[in-house]
Amino acid sequence: MNNNYLGISAIVLGTICFSINDISVKLFSTEMPLHQLMFFRATFAICILLFLILPFYGGLKYLNTNNPVFHIFRGLAVVGANTFFFISIAELSLAEATAIFFIAPILITVFAIFFLEEKVGIRRSLACLIGFVGMLFIIKPGSISFNLISLFPFIAALFYTALHIMTRKYGAQEKPLTMGFYIQVCFLITSLMFASGFYIADVNVDQSKALTFLTGSWVSVNTFDLLHIFFGIAFPISIGGVLVSYAYKNYEASFLAPFEYGALIIAVMSTYLIWNEIPDNLSLIGITLIMFSGIFVSIREKQVSSIRSSRKIIHRR
Q: pLDDT truncated to tens, each residue of the chain (317 aa)?
A: 456 678 888 888 999 999 999 999 999 998 999 999 999 999 998 998 888 888 887 778 878 888 888 889 989 999 999 999 999 999 999 999 999 998 887 888 788 777 767 777 788 788 888 888 989 888 887 665 667 888 999 999 999 988 888 877 776 677 777 888 888 999 999 999 999 988 887 766 666 788 889 888 899 999 999 999 999 999 998 888 778 877 776 776 667 777 888 888 899 999 999 999 888 888 899 999 998 888 887 777 666 555 444 333 333 33
The DSSP result for 197-229, as a single string, is HHHHHT---TT-HHHHHHHPPP----HHHHHHH
| Buried b or exposed e, range 87-119, using 16+ CB within 10 angstroms | bbbbbbbbbbbbbbbbbbbbbbbbbbeeeeeee
What's the number of CA atoms in the CB half-sphere (13 Å) around residue 117?
A: 1
Is the Cβ–Cβ distance between 71 and 175 less than 8 Å?
no
**pLDDT score at 313:** 31
Is the Cβ–Cβ distance between 42 and 233 less than 8 Å?
no
Helix (H), strand (E) at residue 300: helix 281-316
- Please tell me whether residue 173 adopts helix, strand or coil conformation: coil
d(CA 15, CA 260): 6
**pLDDT score at 146:** 67
Q: What is the pTM of this model?
A: 0.85
Is the Cβ–Cβ distance between 46 and 188 less than 8 Å?
yes
Within 10 Å of residue 221's Cβ, how many Cβ atoms?
15
**pLDDT score at 205:** 64
d(CA 46, CA 56): 15
